[in-house]
Amino acid sequence: MQVGDRILYLEIDSAIPAKDKRFAFLADAGCTRTMNGKRVYRLRTVKRKKQISQGLALPLTDFPEFANCKSGYDVTEKLGVTIYDRQPPRVGRFGFLMGRAAGKFPGFIRKTDQERIQSMPRSLLERIQDHPFEITIKMDGTSCSMYYNNGKFGVCSRNLELRDPNIRDPFFVRVWNRIKKVFGYDSRPSHFIDNSVYWDMEKRYGIRDRLTEYCKATGRNLALQGEICGPGIQANRENLDQRGYFIFDIWDINNQWYLLSDERKRVVEALNQVTLRQHIVSPLECVPELQEVQRDKVPEYPLDYLEGIDAAIPDILAMADGRGLCCERREGLVFKSKKDANFSFKVISNAYLLKNEL
């Protein structure tokens, strides 16, 4: 390729369908993975000739279907490219930590994701210096949304709504009892097939009761969105002693927007004040802010660069390196505007990506 040539670019964490023969060379690079039962090629951060490579650029001439498209055209849907989803690990022969699906992810909730600063258009980059930011630690786990909407409570993984394991499906109970008889798993409970780390977090924090009571009292419909981290999840890179649920966003279902940071904290505090009539549960907590894990004070306008955004980006990337909540090397940082709930981005630590081969 030469300077000025048109290219097709795919970001890291892209999951490319393996059936597209134009990407077959990625198999030799060790990019083959299985996601949702299908073979994909997963792009990750690598270091080549002492340079960090984050993404894949190919000549547009290899993709004649996009020859007449303007620069900036989003090719992901037509190529079938999705975000690579690292699911929680398998536990045992017949059960999964994620539990069983009840349906697709609800359409009335926005999926959890943040745009990487390297992928932001210049028009958004130039807005950074005009905003005060809440800067939080990006924790490496599995995302989980829990919602109350017009009388219904639900728990979701990144892509699916999950069945409540406390509601027994007679068919699966019969199947599991048959499996126990044939294979001799008499010591395992019949609900083993429904085990779910997501619903375990609901039980530990009493979220169903808390969110239901709060929403009924205020007339709101809300979705809590957070990261589940701890032993057995993403190699527990956060080095936690037990699993926890760390809230990073609250989605207002009625108004279809995210709450600003100050209101989010007030809602979490109000949820912790809800009196629960059952078992003792843990208090809800938010993802830690950068100020909580470093000694130096974080200014309200941390990205106020008079020399422009081009000079600021290397410093922003450098901010991503540092301690996490309980680990020496964090995944990165998330920046959320305190003025505009729709303006946010993430900065991933290159050192973290290379160390963990992500």
Task: For residues 164 and 304, state if they share a domain.
Answer: yes
Q: Tell me, yes or no, whether 14 lies in a domain.
A: yes
Mean pLDDT over 73-96 rounds to 70
Residues 232 and 157 in one domain: yes
**Domain contains 316:** yes
Specify the pLDDT at position 350.
84
* Rounded to 5°, angle at Cα 24 from 23 and 28: 120
- Judgement on whether residues 53 and 170 belong to the same structural domain of the protein: no
Q: Is residue 258 part of a domain?
A: yes
Average pLDDT over residues 55-71: 93
Give the residue, 160 or 184, on which the prediction is more confident. 160
Residues 132 and 274 in one domain: yes
What whole-number distance in Å separates Cα of residue 44 and Cα of residue 31? 8
Q: Could you tell me if 46 and 180 lie in one domain? A: no
Do 47 and 184 have their domain in common? no
Give dist(CA 223, CA 105) in Å, integer: 12
Whether the CB-CB separation of 158 and 142 falls below 8 Å is answered with: yes
The range of the structural domain enclosing residue 18 comes to 7-83
Are 106 and 76 part of one and the same domain? no
Structurally, the chain folds into a number of domains equal to 2
Last residue of a domain, one of 83, 113, 146: 83
Q: Is residue 306 pLDDT above 60, yes or no?
A: no
* 2 part of a folded domain: no
What is the average per-residue pLDDT within 175-189? 61
Which of 83, 103, 121 is a domain's end point?
83
- The reply to whether 48 and 174 lie within a common domain is no
24 and 49 fall within a common domain = yes
Closest-CA residue to 83 (of 26, 43, 24): 43
Which of 49, 83, 117 is at the close of a domain? 83
- Give residue 90's pLDDT band: very low, low, confident or very high (50, 70, 90): very low
Look at residue 207 and tell me if it is in a domain.
yes
Residue 1 lies in a domain: no
For the ranges 45-54, 81-90, 104-113, 348-357, the maximum mean pLDDT occurs at 104-113
What is the model's pLDDT at position 358?
A: 65
Can you say whether the dihedral through the CA atoms of 353, 125, 264, 293 is positive or negative? positive
Residue 294 lies in a domain: yes
Is there a single domain that holds both residue 43 and residue 96? no
Give pTM, 2 decimals.
0.77
What backbone phi and psi angles, to 5 degrees, belong to 315?
-70, -35
**Residues 229-265 pLDDT 10s:** 998 888 888 889 999 999 999 999 999 999 999 999 9
Structure tokens given for 330:
């964090």
53: how many CB neighbours lie within 10 A of its CB? 14
What value does the CA radius of gyration of the chain take, rounded to a whole number of Å? 22
CATH for 241: 3.30.470.30
